Amino acid sequence: MEKRTLYIGNLAYTAVEDDLEHAFEAFGVIEDIKLMRDRETGRSRGFAFITFEKDAEAEAARAMDGKEVAGRPIKVNDAKQKQPSERKPRSFNQ
């Protein structure tokens, strides 16, 4: 079986990793939780990624789509692979 990562969106800005762990641990072994935070404030950006040890566990966890976590209904989808940026490098020399 292969690992699978889910995208969790529409999170409350007050949500923390423990909220996600408690909401999703019943579906299987969670290998990693990455709650995305603002670099300057440290506040949640409202989305996270959860990696499950097995594909079947992640598939079962998709049942959380629309369920409430930390006071908001969340969105649960398969995470997409990050695509390489096609933007040209910026030049800061003047």
Instruction: Give domain limits for the chain.
Output: 4-78
Residue 86 DSSP one-character state: -
For 28-50, what is each residue's pLDDT tens digit? 999 999 999 999 998 899 999 99
Residue with tokens 């999703």: 24
Provide the pLDDT confidence category of residue 86 given band limits of 50, 70 and 90: low
Q: Report the alpha-carbon angle 15-21-52, nearest 5.
A: 125
Read off φ and ψ for residue 9, nearest 5 degrees. -115, 175
DSSP H helices, 1-94, are 17-24, 55-61
Read off φ and ψ for residue 24, nearest 5 degrees. -110, -10
The DSSP element (H or E) to which 32 belongs, if any, is: strand 30-37
Read off φ and ψ for residue 54, nearest 5 degrees. -125, 145
Position 2 scores a pLDDT of 87
Note the pTM of the prediction, 2 decimals. 0.83
Q: Under CATH, what is the fold of the domain 4-78?
A: Alpha-Beta Plaits (3.30.70)
Position 82 scores a pLDDT of 74
